[in-house]
Amino acid sequence: MNEAFWTQYPNQGGKILGTGSEEANLRQQWDAIAANLLEQLEQTNLSAASRQQLGSYGEANRTQWKAAVNQLRLSSRSLFDLADAKFFHAFPQEQGKDFINKPIGQVWHAIVADTVNTLKSGDSLERIVFDPGAVNKQVGGTLKPGEGKAFIASLSAGQQMKVTLSNAEKALFSVYGPNSKITLLEDSRDRRWSGQLPESGFYEFVVVSKASEPIDYQLDLSVEDSTTPEPSTVNSPG
């Protein structure tokens, strides 16, 4: 709370408000900021387990979470896309700021922890598997404000891929390759990508909502050859 207050009133930076009448107006402002912050926190719907860890999250947790999603054939890029969508929906004032090591950054960490669990459970992660003989696949659903969904597909180098996101004007779309250096789209307003795939492995498709109301979306994926085998060697998603 003090951090949020000092941000709005930098001349009060580092000071703790007293109880005197001369600071009554500032206390009212502090209370108003506190009420708004609590309302924003309620939007995050943090699990009890994640709330209990607030104040103790750090780099070791981030390293552990990256390893956990890598086991799901997903990279930390997709994980953080999903967590960022929820965090910035609740705290839009933090967009573009360096908040990771600040008190509000603990809330972001708690959101990441919950996101890892939803990925593990399959609630926010789905694998795209082509039907025998098919070259196209459609997946879709509905996203609430701040929600996102990740998809993975095992594809091969040299394949021609085309992916299109439909019915989701107020969404951001990312497409990542199996190598951490391969980014086809990132937090993009573009709705399609096509081209030849540079590497074999698991490709990631992430859709996150930026809308203030539920939105429907549809992902259309086509490849040159739908009978893609599991890659024998898969680079770490990173």
Q: How far is CA 64 from CA 35, 109, 112, 209, 213, in A?
A: 34, 12, 11, 26, 33
Pairing label, strands 136-143, 192-196: unpaired
pLDDT digits (tens, 9 = 90+) for 165-222: 998 789 999 999 998 889 999 999 999 999 999 999 999 999 999 999 999 999 999 9
Tell me the pLDDT band of 228, cut-offs 50, 70 and 90. very low
Q: Which of 177, 175, 189, 173 is nearest to 237 (CA)?
A: 177
Tell me the pLDDT band of 150, cut-offs 50, 70 and 90. very high
Query: Which CATH class, in words, describes the domain spanning 125-223?
Result: mainly beta
Extents of the domains making up the chain: 2-121, 125-223
